[in-house]
A and B are shown apart, each in its own frame.
Chain A
Amino acid sequence: MLPVSFGLALLQTAEIAGAPLNIKLSWCLALSAVLFTIGVAGVLVQRNVIVLFMCVELMLNAVNLTLVAFSRFLGDITGQLFVFIVMTVAAAEAAVGLAIIISLFRNRETLNVDEADLLKL
């Protein structure tokens, strides 16, 4: 409890001081690119379909970070709305994707993507 609460409290302290949130756009973009890259690498090296799916979610998160960063630095709310829509799509995608994974597992009893190559369940 305490570390996170203190983090919030510190952030509030900084805001009270009227401090500029002195974070550079390039840092956010770099973080986003690194996370996206890790997601891509995960899709390439992992064979477990659930983990692949999680790597896709990781890539979506990285893109969300870019959108929020640009929204913040351009002073335009549209980027954050875009993130909202992306999250809705991700939720729908997770529901359908996991349903597919469950029916795949029922029929094949494996989660390895290499063994699910018959274009039918």
Chain B
Amino acid sequence: MDLVTQISQSIPAILFFATAALAVVAAFNVILQRNPIYSAIALIVVMMALAGVFLTLASPFIAAIQVIVYAGAIMVLFVFVIMLLNVRAEESITDKVKYLKFVAPALFIALLAEVGAIVGAIDAVAKPAISANTVADPSKVNGTVESIAQAMFTTYLLPFEATSVLILMAIVGSMLLAKRETPEEAKMAYDAARDYREQAD
């Protein structure tokens, strides 16, 4: 086997490690940044990196959906809300709940130990992927649009329809929640909250 073939065969693994490293670094940024907008941008990077991982796993449809839904829709909403509320950076991350500072690293180490166990225990290599461009019927190749559509609209039609009901509920719910109150209602709610806070203090 010549050098070029060797290199091109290890490309998916190299891409996997590059995107995985990017995802982990960005994920640490999500939780360690004090300014929410930096966290949001780091999370966008995580999602893009995961889309890259999905590509190396020969799942182009999921990779595209990941970018469209997560990076293109959900995170835009997050960034929009952060900008709308003009959230400032926090002075300190853990002021109130001191003990969590000690719980979190312990949990982190325990879970990392589990990761080590997984890496040691499981050793499966995937079957060679077939390029969707070279076959006559793409619906026979896992991960293409055709194969997913076929499964979604036959076997899994009921869950698919159920999600549409879920989305309808989400639309109605968020409309109701974000509806601007009339000035009188707002004043009443504000006064009630202030009274309650004074009582609580």
Question: Are A and B associated in one complex?
Answer: yes
Q: Chain A: residues with CB nearer than 8 A to chain B? A: 7-8, 10-31, 33-42, 44-48, 50-51, 53-55, 57-58, 61, 64-65, 68-69, 71-73, 75-78, 80-81, 83-85, 87-96, 98-103, 105, 107-108, 111, 114, 118, 121
Interface size, chain B (Cβ < 8 Å): 101
The chain A residue sitting closest to B107, CB to CB, is: A40
Q: Tell me the B166-189 residues at the A interface (CB within 8 Å).
A: 166-167, 169-171, 173-175, 177-178, 189
A-B pairs with beta carbons under 8 A, tally: 293
Q: Tell me the B1-35 residues at the A interface (CB within 8 Å).
A: 5, 8-13, 15-16, 20, 23-24, 27-28, 30-31
Is the CB–CB distance between A22 and B9 below 8 Å? yes
Q: Is the interface of A mostly helix, strand, loop or mixed?
A: helix
Q: Is the interface of B mostly helix, strand, loop or mixed?
A: helix
Sampled A-B contacts (26; CB under 8 Å):
A11-B11, A17-B9, A24-B122, A29-B115, A30-B119, A34-B115, A40-B107, A41-B105, A53-B78, A57-B74, A58-B30, A65-B54, A72-B59, A72-B142, A75-B142, A76-B142, A80-B61, A80-B143, A84-B65, A89-B166, A98-B77, A98-B81, A98-B174, A99-B173, A102-B178, A107-B193
